[in-house]
Amino acid sequence: MSTPENLTVSSESSAPEPREREWGTKLFLGFLFVVASFYALILIYHSANPPETVTDSGVLEQCRQICLKYGLISTGNVRKDAEAYLQFAQTTKLTSALTDILADTTAPVNSQKHALLEKTAPDFSLPDDAKLTQKLSELGQNRPVVVVFYLGYGCSHCVAQLLALDKDLHYFRELDADIIAISSDSSDHTAQRFVEYGRFGFPVLSDVDQKVAEAWGVFQSATDDKDETMDHGTFVVDRNGKVVWAFQGKEPFLDNRTLLHVIARSQGLLPENVASNN
């Protein structure tokens, strides 16, 4: 009879665990609800009270200023919002010489699994902001290329990635690599934004019908079952035209150090002690 009693005690002692997890889940969801509600309150406050009209420094105004500092709410200036987001979100900012960056033994971000990985990159012919046709096969002829798919100039997080790449462009040039950015914005819209906010040092191309984005797997057309979807996409194509690294997701990729390491590795340019760790 001792065995059943032991089993009964063991069963009773384990019973509270699911209830504890349930309460933990409720507390976490409650916390998220409070944060989301407060953020919504700040957005409402921001919409109803333009910054230039506010003279006091109440709690909501102080919270608004913090959100503005880190690009969490829009100022109406896409480039300014992008710079604020970049300051907040980009954890690794490159200031050293390229040789020091490549000698850093910190492991770069691994490539995601992707249908194009280790395959020849799909070629494309797209217009730039001047409506001149640019081809991947020509831009990347015998040189590595970083191909970036972004959601358009209305997305400050997207523009943040382009700003980060532009700031570090000299490193990519040292590796004889180029950068190409692609969105569904029209050439006219991109040209207008360049006049307003300044241009980048690399081609920004227009894929209005998103056929190229679809060929690269970052865009899915709408079906009867679901709406169309578009992800951020960053790819490294080596000098032989093969996709050697890929990232796709809901947020842009901001770790340029990883991209430089991947490009250098594809050309056999990493120091031996670094190359052996990858």
Does 53 map to a domain?
yes
Q: Are residues 126 and 249 in the same domain?
A: yes
Does 261 map to a domain?
yes
Q: Are residues 36 and 139 in the same domain?
A: no
Q: What is 237-256 written as a DSSP string?
A: E-TTSBEEEEEEESS----H
Burial class (CB in 10 A: 0-12, 13-18, 19+), 245: buried
Number of separate domains in the chain: 2
Q: Are residues 156 and 226 in the same domain?
A: yes
For 195-232, the pLDDT digits (tens) are 999 999 999 999 999 999 999 999 999 888 888 899 99
Residue 90's pLDDT band, with cuts at 50, 70 and 90, is confident
Percent of the chain with pLDDT over 90: 57
The residue segments making up the domain with residue 154 are 98-275
Does 82 map to a domain?
no
For 8-31, the pLDDT digits (tens) are 444 445 555 566 667 766 666 665
The CATH number of residue 150's host domain is 3.40.30.10
Two tokens, residue 193: 């934004």
Q: Are residues 43 and 157 in the same domain?
A: no
Max distance between CA atoms of the chain, in angstroms, equals: 88
